[in-house]
Structure 1
Amino acid sequence: MQRQANPGLVPVLDWRPTGIEDLEPAAWGALRDTGNVAVVAGPGAGKTEFLAQRAAYLLQTGLCPWPQHILAISFKRDSAANLGRRVAARAPDHASRFVSMTFDAFTKGLVDRFALALPPDWRMRHGYDIRTAPDSEVRTFLNTVAFSAPQTLAGQLGFQSGRFVPDIVGGWNLPETVPTDDAVDAVSYAVREWWRARYLRSGRAEVDFVMLNRLAELLVRTAPKLRRALRMTYPIVFVDEFQDTTSAQFSFLTSVFGEETAVTTVGDGKQRIMGWAGAVPEAVQRFTNTFDATTYRLAWNFRSSDALVELQHVIASKLDPATVRATSKATAEDGHDPTVLWTFSSGDREARYIADWIARDIADSDRTPADFALIARQRVKDFEPHFRARLAAHGIRVRNDDARFGKMSLQDLLKSETTRLLVGLLRLAHQPCGLAAVWREVSATLVRVHGAADDEAAQRRVGEDLSDLTTELRSWLQAHPASTTSAADAVRNLLDLVDSATLRRYVKATAPGEEFDLITGAFEARLETVLAGAVDWGAVFDEFESADAVVLLTTHRSKGLEYHTVFFLGIHGRQWWSLGSDRREGTSTFFVGLSRAAQRLVFTTDRSERTGPIAAFFAMLTEAGVPEIVQG
C-alpha cells in the first residue's frame, strides 16, 4: 500500500506554522512571497526553521502542487540532512516531495545520470575519479603552463595557485567544443590546459567538485530538454548559507534555475568565512540583482541572550555599518557574567582553571559537558593535551572535532549518515531495550537505503530484517569481548551483516565525496582508538561518539552550531597571524566564533603584545564593555 500522492491541502489564509508558536513579521513576508527571495539571517535567526516552515507552507497549501518538488541545496551534508529531517517533522505527508542535498551531490548526480548527453568533445570514455589537486600540484601545473604558453601570452599567466581552481576554473563556462588553437586569452588558455591535463586525457579522468559543477552546467545548458525537465520538477529552489556560494555554483544556479523557478536564498554576508574556498564577495547583492529578488532581513535571535546580542552587534557593525541590532528572544540566565576576557600566564594554567571551572559549573547546575565548547581560530591540537588531561581529572571527556581518523575529521565522521547507521546498529545490538529513538533513526535510514520510502509493505520488511540483524549482531558481540576484539574484525562482521553492497550504492548515489571505503576506513580507525583499554562494548560506543563531552573545535567547524557556554581560546597574534592579510574575513571568523554562545562567552588570551592587527579585536571587546580579569 502506497501513501496518498496528494493529501488534503490547507487554504493559504488558514495556514499556520507547525511546531513553533509564530514567525517574526519579516519571516512571514518572505514565507508568503512566491517570487525570488533573499533572506538575510544573522546568528541564531532560525534559518533552518524558516526554510522548513516555508517548505511546509508551499507544500501544504498546494502552491507547490503535486507531483512537483522543492529542491533545497546546502553546502554541508549535515545541514542538508538536518533540513530534510526538519521538513519531515513539519510536513510529514509531503516530505517525499522535499529534496534536500548538497550542491556537490546535485551536480555530481546530473553528471552521473546524463553524462552521455554531454557534447561529444566532453564525453568521458573511461569514467572518472574524484580527486582534489593539492596546492603544490596546482603550482607545478601553473609553472609548466607559463613556461610552455605561446609568446603572445608571455607574462599573463601569473595566477595564484590557491585561487586558480575555485576562481579561474570555477568561473570559466565550458564551450561546447574544446578550443584547438592558441589564439585565446590567458584565462581560457590556462583553464583549457587544466582540463586537458586532468580530464581530456587517455584513461580515467580526474575531476574535483568544481570541475563536476562546470560539467553539469555545460550539460544542462546544451540539453534544453533536461533543463526544462529540471525546472518542471523543481519549480521552487532553496539555497542555504548563500554567502558561501562560489563562482561556479552561482553560475550553475543562474544557468539552470535563472528562469521559471522561484529561488529562495538564506545567508548573512557578515558570516562569509569561505573566501579562501572561492566564496564570491557580496553574494546576496549579486543574487538580488541577477534574479530580481526581494530582500527580507530577519531581526530575531533565538539563540543568544540580550547581552550577547549586544556584543554581536558591536562586531557586526564593523563588518556592516548599516546592520540593525537583532532582538533577543532567548531568556537570559541570572547569576553569571555573560561575557568576560580572562588573561593567563601559561597554557597549562589556562586549561587547569577552565577545567576546574567547568567541573564546578556542572556540579552546581543541570548542565552537561556537551553544553560547553572550546573554540579556537586554528591549531586546536595545540590546546588538546592540556585540556584533555585537566578535564579527565574531573571525569570529563574532551572531543576534538578536528582530529583526523583515516582521511576524515572526527566531526565529519560522526555526522556521516553511514556512521550514524553503523553505530546505531551496534548500540541496538548491545542494548536491545530503551533505545526507541535510535531504532527509529536506524530504521528510517535503512528504509532510504533500500528505497522503501513510499512502500509500506517494504518498510515492514525492513523492520523485520532489522530485528533479525540486531539479534545476530548481539550474539556476535557477546561472543567477542571488546577487550580482545580488533576493530577490523568488528567492522568486517558488521558490514557482512548490513548488506554493504546495497549501502555502498546508496552512499554513492546520495553523498558524493563521501566515499564508502573512506567512511568505513575512518570508522575502523576511530574504533581502533577507542577499543584501547576498553572494558565493555557499551563503553566503546560511548567513547566512539563522545556525545557527552566538552567539544574542542575551530571556528570554521563551529559554524551553524550553538552551545550554552563558549570559551573562545587564543585571542592573540599567534592564533590570528593571518588577520592582517584579510581583515574582513578574519573579523567575520571572529564574529562566527563568538556568536555560537547562547548564555556565556569567555574569551581567553595571554600576556603577549596587543599591537598590530590583533589590537582591533581588543578594541571591539572594550567598546562592547567586556571586562578583563587576570587569572594569573
Structure 2
Amino acid sequence: MSRPDADDEASTPTMTRPTVLVSDADWRPSGIDELEPAAWRALYHEGNTAVVAGPGAGKSEFLAQKAAYLLQTGRCPWPQRILAISFKRDAAANLRRRVAARVPEHADRFVSMTFDAFTKGLVDRFASALPDSWRMPHGYEISYASERQVEAFLSDIIPSAPGSIRLQVAQLHASRFIADTVGSWELPVTVPAAGPDDAAAYAALQWWRLRSFGRGPARVDFVMLNRLAELLVRCVPKLRQALRITYPYVFVDEFQDTTSAQFSFLVSVFAGGPTATAVGDSKQRIMGWAGALPKALERFAEAFDATTYPLTWNFRSTKALVDVQHVIATRLDPNAVPVMAKADDDIDGNPAEVWTFSSLDREAAVIADWIAGDIAASGRAPADFALLARQKIADFESRFRAQLSRHGINVRNDDALVATMRLQDLLKHEITRLLLGLLRLADQPRGLPKVWHEVLATLTRIHGAEGDNIVQRRIGDDLSTSIVGLRAWLRAHPPERTAGDDVASFLLGLLDMAALRRYVKSATPGEQLHLVTDAFQARLATVISASAKWTDVADQFECSDAVVLLTAHRAKGLEYHTVFFLGLDDQQWWAHDRDPIESTSTFFVGLSRAAQRIIFTTTSPYARHGRIAEFFAMLDDAGVPEINRNWDPGMESLESMTEISATPFRRLRQSGRRA
C-alpha cells in the first residue's frame, strides 16, 4: 500500500538491510555511560510501558536508547520501523538526531514526527476512504477559530438547540470548546440527520456543519483533522492493520500534554496492537489551556494495560536544587518519589535564592553586573545563563540588553517575533539550519564535519532518499558543487554591500524548491515554506549590515553566545547553568487564581531548568502576601533565603556579595532542615 504517513521517507526495497545484530547480553547504551536501574527495566520490558520521568531524568535519551536496543537486537525486525510521536517539532527533530547519532545504520527505520504531522498525513493520503458523509469534496484549508468566533458560534446555536439541552449548550465555555468538546466527540460513521440529544455532541455537530459542510473548502484545524484521522482508521481496518505492521513499536514523548482527541486516536489505532511506550511527567503539565488531559499517563497505563516505571535519577541538577524541586513537586503530587541527583556542584554560595529589588532598573543593573562578574571569575559563557519569566518577556528586554551591553554581553530574546515566527522556532527550524549550514560550509571549507553531515541528512530527508545509497551519493555530489558555487558568490558579495534578500534568494536557488515545499508541508502541517523563508530574510536583514565577514553573519544570526531571555513555556526541555526566574509578582502571575495547579506546574518547569543555581527575583514589596503567596511559602519550606539587593552594586565586590547571600541557606542546611 501507499506510505501510511507524511514523513515516511523511502519505500522498503531501497532500504539498507543491516547484516549484524547484537544479542541482549552484549547490548550496551551508546553515547552515555549508564542507565539507571528503573530505565533498564523499562527498556527491557516487552509489554506496553509508561515511564514517569521528571526534570533532568533524560526522557529523550531514554527513548533514543530504547530505539537503539530494539533496532540493534532485531526486536524491531527489518524492514519494520519505530514510530515516535512528539508534540513539538523541535522535540521530534531532537529525538530523530539522537537516534541517528547512536545507530546511524538504522536511522532510516526510526520515524520521528509530531502528532499533527502524523494525523494530517493520514487524512491527506487516504481522505478518499473516509465515509461519504465526512469527505471534503472541495479539499480543506487549515483555519483556526478565535475565542471570539467560538463565542459568537455558541450564541448562535443556543436558540435552535432542543429545549432539553439548551441550558447545557449555554454552559459550554468558548475557551475550551475546540479542545474539550470538538476534540472529545467521536465522529459517527454517518452524520446524523437530527441533532443529538447530548449537548456536547449537538454543539460539536453544529461546528462541523458550519466549518466543513459548506460549498467551498472545509475550514479545519488540527483537532478536527485528528478526529477525521481517527474515523478513517476506525472505518478502514486494512489501514489500521498496515500501520500496526509497519510500526510494531510506538513511542509518545511528553505524554502529559496529550489532549482528549489525541488520546482517543492513540487508543483507536494502537491499543491492542503495537508495543507502546509513553514518557512524561504530570508535574510538568503546562498545556492544560490547550486541552491537555489530567492524569494522562495514568489513563494510558489503564487503556494500554501498561507497566509503570518511575525514573528517579536527575542528571541535570545538583542535590541542593533537586531538594528544592522536591518541595514543589510534592505540592503538585503528594506521592512524588524523591529523586537522586547525579550532577556535581561546581559553585560556591547558595544554589537557590530570592532577590528583592526596589525597581526594575536596579534589578537589571545588579543582575547584569553579577553575570559579568561570574563569567569573569568562572570562565562560563553567556549562554550558560538564562533569564526566564512567566510572560511579557518584552518588558524585560530593553533594560537587560542595555545593562549587559555595558559588559560586552549579548542578549537573545527567544520570544521575539521575526516576521510571523518566534525567534526560538526560527533558529530551531530544519530549513533555517539547512540554509545557515550551507552558508557556513561555503565560507569555511574545512573543519565543519558535523555541519556537513547535518546538511546532507536534511537534504536526504527532503528528497526522500534515506536508505537509498545511490541517491544519497548523488545528493552529496550536488551539495559539493553547490557549495563551490556559493563560495564564489560570497567572495564577490561581501556582507557590507549585500542585501539580506539577495543572500536568501541565492541560497534558496541552490535547492529544489518543489521538493522543499513538499517536505515542509508534510513535515510541518499547517506551515508553508514562505513563512520560514520570510522570517529567515527578516532575521538576516537585521544582522548582515553590522557584519564584516560571512562567518560573523551566521554567528550574529544564531547569536548562540548570548544570555537567553525566554518564557518558562519556551524553556521546557532546556537547561542552563544559572537561571534567573524574573518577575515573582502578581503582574507576571495575574492568572494564577484561574488554574493554580497549572500555574504551579509552570513555576516547577521554570525552576527545574537550572543545573547549578536558580535565583528568583521580585520588585514588588507586596508579592510575598499577594496572589502567589504560596510560591513564597514553598520556597520558605525549601529553605531558600530572601536577599535584599538594593545596595549600590559598586559598593560591594562579587566575593562579598556571594559571602553575604550564602550564609542563610548554609545555616538552614546545617541545621538539618530538609528542602
Amino acid at match of 2:28: R
1:371 and 1:550 in contact (8 A); partners too: yes
1:214 aligns with 2:227: yes
Partners of 1:481 and 1:20 lie apart in 2 by 43
- Cα offset for 1:448? 1.4
1:231 and 1:260 in contact (8 A); partners too: yes
Instruction: Give ranges in structure 2 of 5+ residues lacking alignment.
Output: 1-12, 647-675
SS in 2 for 1:156: helix
- Cα offset for 1:485? 2.9
SS in 1 for 2:50: strand
Partners of 2:22 and 2:477 lie apart in 1 by 36
Partner of 1:616: 630
Partners of 1:205 and 1:476 lie apart in 2 by 45
Partners of 1:556 and 1:519 lie apart in 2 by 22
1:56 aligns with 2:68: yes
Q: Which whole-Å deviations, capped at 9, do the CAs of 1:286-313 have from their partners, x for residues lacking one?
A: 1111111111000000000010000000
SS in 1 for 2:470: helix
Closer, same or farther: CA 292–411 of 1 in aligned 2, 3 Å: same
SS in 2 for 1:164: helix
Partners of 2:466 and 2:527 lie apart in 1 by 22
Partners of 1:363 and 1:448 lie apart in 2 by 43
Which stretch has the larger CA shift, 34-43 or 536-545? 536-545
Partners of 1:344 and 1:420 lie apart in 2 by 40
2:182 and 2:204 in contact (8 A); partners too: yes
Counterpart of 1:280 (choices 293, 298, 307) is 293
Partners of 2:484 and 2:32 lie apart in 1 by 39
Q: How does 1:175-186 map to 2 (within 5 A)?
A: 175-186=188-199
1:199 and 1:206 in contact (8 A); partners too: yes
- Cα offset for 1:544? 1.2
Q: How does 1:513-552 map to 2 (within 5 A)?
A: 513-552=526-565
Counterpart of 1:578 (choices 567, 591, 612) is 591
Q: TM-score, normalised by structure 2?
A: 0.91
SS in 1 for 2:613: strand
1:247 aligns with 2:260: yes
Counterpart of 2:639 (choices 614, 622, 625) is 625
SS in 2 for 1:383: helix
2:15 and 2:108 in contact (8 A); partners too: no
1:555 aligns with 2:574: no
1:406 aligns with 2:419: yes
SS in 2 for 1:603: strand
Counterpart of 2:178 (choices 154, 165, 179) is 165
1:572 and 1:608 in contact (8 A); partners too: no
Q: Which whole-Å deviations, capped at 9, do the CAs of 1:219-277 have from their partners, x for residues lacking one?
A: 00000000011111111111000001000000000000011221110001111010000
- Cα offset for 1:28? 0.9
SS in 2 for 1:579: coil
SS in 1 for 2:564: strand
Amino acid at match of 2:301: T
Q: TM-score, normalised by structure 1?
A: 0.97
Partners of 1:395 and 1:500 lie apart in 2 by 40
Partners of 1:442 and 1:187 lie apart in 2 by 48
SS in 1 for 2:464: coil
Partner of 2:87: 75
Partners of 1:381 and 1:574 lie apart in 2 by 14
Amino acid at match of 1:215: L
Amino acid at match of 1:118: L
SS in 1 for 2:105: helix
Counterpart of 1:66 (choices 56, 69, 78) is 78
Partners of 1:206 and 1:2 lie apart in 2 by 38
- Cα offset for 1:145? 1.7
Q: Which whole-Å deviations, capped at 9, do the CAs of 1:519-546 have from their partners, x for residues lacking one?
A: 1121122222223544443322222111
Which stretch has the larger CA shift, 446-455 or 598-607? 446-455
1:7 and 1:93 in contact (8 A); partners too: no
Partners of 2:390 and 2:581 lie apart in 1 by 9
- Cα offset for 1:93? 2.0
Partners of 1:249 and 1:99 lie apart in 2 by 18
Partners of 1:391 and 1:183 lie apart in 2 by 61
- Cα offset for 1:183? 4.8
1:345 aligns with 2:358: yes
1:326 aligns with 2:345: no
Counterpart of 2:394 (choices 381, 387, 401) is 381
- Give the total of aligned pairs: 632
SS in 2 for 1:613: coil
Aligned-pair RMSD on alpha carbons? 1.5
Which stretch has the larger CA shift, 457-466 or 205-214? 457-466
SS in 2 for 1:14: coil
Which stretch has the larger CA shift, 536-545 or 1-10? 1-10
1:401 and 1:411 in contact (8 A); partners too: yes
Counterpart of 2:58 (choices 25, 46, 60) is 46
Which stretch has the larger CA shift, 130-139 or 206-215? 130-139
2:363 and 2:619 in contact (8 A); partners too: no
Partners of 1:150 and 1:491 lie apart in 2 by 57
Counterpart of 1:447 (choices 437, 460, 480) is 460
Which stretch has the larger CA shift, 204-213 or 131-140? 131-140
1:268 aligns with 2:281: yes
Amino acid at match of 2:38: A
